[in-house]
């Protein structure tokens, strides 16, 4: 069942937080996210902790899944130019 944002207790994510979750969905590490956004890895970590709190989740995977319930999926969000997701 899709998430009803009107009745949801989830606080909307900022545009920066949405960028972070999008990159998580593409499989980027904190270091790769930091490079893509021109911020430090520590700042990425801080932003992610704030995202987890807003979404009520405890992991990267949960954050991506939660956002996927009411937002774009990982395939809908373009990767930053010049960066490829990790291969494994």
Residue 82 lies in a domain: no
Q: How many domains does the chain have?
A: 1
| Residue 6 pLDDT grade (very low, low, confident, very high; cuts 50, 70, 90) | very low
Instruction: Indicate whether 85 belongs to any domain.
Output: no
Give residue 52's pLDDT.
95
Which of 6-10, 16-20, 31-35, 84-88 has the highest mean predicted lDDT (pLDDT)? Answer: 31-35
Cα separation, 45 vs 5, in Å, equals 26
CATH of residue 51's domain is 1.10.10.10
Confidence of residue 87 (pLDDT cuts 50, 70, 90): low
Containing structural domain, residue 37 = 15-73
Within-domain flag for 88: no
Q: What is the pLDDT of residue 31?
A: 97
Report the first-to-last Cα separation within the chain, whole angstroms: 32
pLDDT tens, residue by residue, 24-76: 999 999 999 999 999 999 999 999 999 999 999 999 999 999 988 765 544 44
């Amino acid at each position: 069942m899709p998430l009803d944002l009107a009745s949801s207790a989830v606080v909307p994510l900022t545009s920066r937080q949405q960028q972070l979750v999008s990159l998580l969905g593409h499989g980027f590490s904190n270091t790769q996210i930091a490079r893509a956004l021109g911020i430090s890895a520590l700042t990425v970590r801080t932003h992610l902790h704030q995202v987890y709190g807003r979404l009520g989740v405890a992991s990267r995977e949960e954050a991506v899944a939660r956002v996927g319930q009411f937002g774009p999926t990982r395939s809908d969000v373009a990767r930053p130019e010049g960066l490829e997701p990790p291969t494994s």
